[in-house]
Structure formats: C-alpha cells, structure tokens
Amino acid sequence: MLVILSAPSGCGKDTVLAELFNRAGWLKRSISLTTRQKREGEKDGEDYYFVSREYFQSKLESGQILEHTSYSGNYYGTPKTTVDEWLKQGETVILKIEVEGAVKIKELYPDAVSIFLVPPAMSELETRLRQRMSEGEEEIQSRLTIAVNEMKNAVNYDYIVVNEDLGRAVDDVYAIIISERHRTSRSMHILNEAMTF
Ligand code: 5GP
C-alpha cells in the first residue's frame, strides 16, 4: 500500500513522520532525491539523497524516478526501484511529497491513500518557518506562497489531519493507515488463508 503524506512547508510533517516511524517501525519510508542544500541536522541518505542537478537529470532520463517536481527552485524526486520492490513485497510505503507529485502518484497508483496535513491556521505556518531559522526571508515568502496554493489542493486528498497537537496528529495518521490496511479489497489474501483448513 502506498501512502502519500503532503503538507505545506512548516506544518511539522517531518516531526509527525518521525513519531509515526517510532511507533510503527514496519512502515517503509521512501527517501527522495533532492538538489536543494542540506539543512542543519539533515543527513544524506536519511532525510534525502542530496544530489547535483546533473545527477538528478541523469536519473530522470534513465527512467529511475517515479515522479518529480520543481519546488522553490529545486528538484525533488521519488526513486522508482525501491518503491516498486517494497510494493511487490506487500509493504506499506510512505511518500512525503508535495501536491503535484501526489497527483502523479494517484494516476500511477489509483489505490494510493492520500493524507493532507494542515496547520491549525496559516499564521502558525509562518511562525514555524521563522522559528526553524533554516530559510532566508525570500525563501520563507516563496514557501508561504506555495503553501497557500497547496492548501487549495487539500480537497483532492482522501484524508485531512490537523497538526495542532503532535500526539493527536500521529494518532490520526496511524489510525488512517491501519484502517486502510484492513480494507476488504486489501485483505483478500488474509481471508483466503483464514478459510483454508
Ligand atoms: P523540503 O525542502 O521542505 O524538504 O521539501 C519541500 C517540499 O517538497 C515538501 O512539500 C516535500 O514534501 C516535497 N518533496 C520532498 N520530496 C519529494 C519528492 O520526491 N517528490 C515530490 N513531488 N515532492 C517532494
């Protein structure tokens, strides 16, 4: 099962995801390629694969990227092979991607479950973006403009979760994933096994 998690920048998506993976170590997280600069505290191969534009372009041209986007002047893309292999093995894979990527994934995998994380209010986003002090003023303004547009796309997602209280947001995302895993259409193999003597 593929799970798309989108949220405007500064919404606390990484914190929610970190808590979610603490709770459910069996979830697989796709690590994207990006051409953006590493932020303080980020690790190559853990948060992203930080790559050059040339490298990104070569992966794109050789068909090794499932979907990609240009966001605030940088490229971001989901590696194809890892995701496909995990799906083949029946794993639940989380994609932390923005709205254009989410549309592309839904086209490729109509069964993908999409969750949009929203802040309690837009003013909260600006505060959080400023507090993390990893972007300059121009980048903050660019991210806020993108955020407004992204919020308009939230109506196309399967689920909306508010990130006001971290524990509650993690509970909600976890509950959605568990419920979706138990859908009859995804549980036929369990049913078949249970019916054998
Ligand atoms: P950030 O620079 O804050 O880490 O990420 C910027 C935006 O790019 C976020 O909305 C994040 O979810 C999105 N993003 C990260 N990786 C990918 C990817 O592989 N594909 C797409 N479409 N978006 C991504």
**15-56: pLDDT as tens digits:** 999 999 999 999 999 999 999 999 989 999 999 999 999 999
Per-residue confidence at 10, pLDDT binned at 50, 70, 90?
confident
Structure tokens at 26: 């069996």
Q: Is 78 in the pocket of ligand 1 (CB under 6 A)?
A: yes
Taking the model in full, what pTM does it have? 0.93
Q: From atom 1 of ligand 1, which residue's Cα is the shortest distance away?
A: 9
Q: From atom 11 of ligand 1, which residue's Cα is the shortest distance away?
A: 97
Percent of the chain scored above 90 by pLDDT?
A: 84
Q: From atom 10 of ligand 1, which residue's Cα is the shortest distance away?
A: 98
Going from the Cα of 194 to the center of ligand 1, the distance in angstroms, rounded, reads 40
Going from the Cα of 195 to the center of ligand 1, the distance in angstroms, rounded, reads 43
Q: Closest Cα to residue 166, out of 127, 132, 117? A: 117
How is the beta sheet containing 93-96 ordered, strand by strand?
Answer: 28-29, 93-96, 2-6, 113-118, 159-162
Instruction: State the Cα–Cα distance between residues 7 and 22, nearest whole angstrom.
Output: 20
Going from the Cα of 11 to the center of ligand 1, the distance in angstroms, rounded, reads 13
Which domains are present in the chain?
A: 2-194 (3.40.50.300)
Going from the Cα of 34 to the center of ligand 1, the distance in angstroms, rounded, reads 8
Structure tokens at 84: 């496909």
pLDDT, one tens digit per residue, over 59-103 is: 999 999 999 999 989 999 999 999 999 999 999 999 999 999 999
Q: Is 77 in the pocket of ligand 1 (CB under 6 A)?
A: yes
Instruction: State the Cα–Cα distance between residues 179 and 111, nearest whole angstrom.
Output: 14
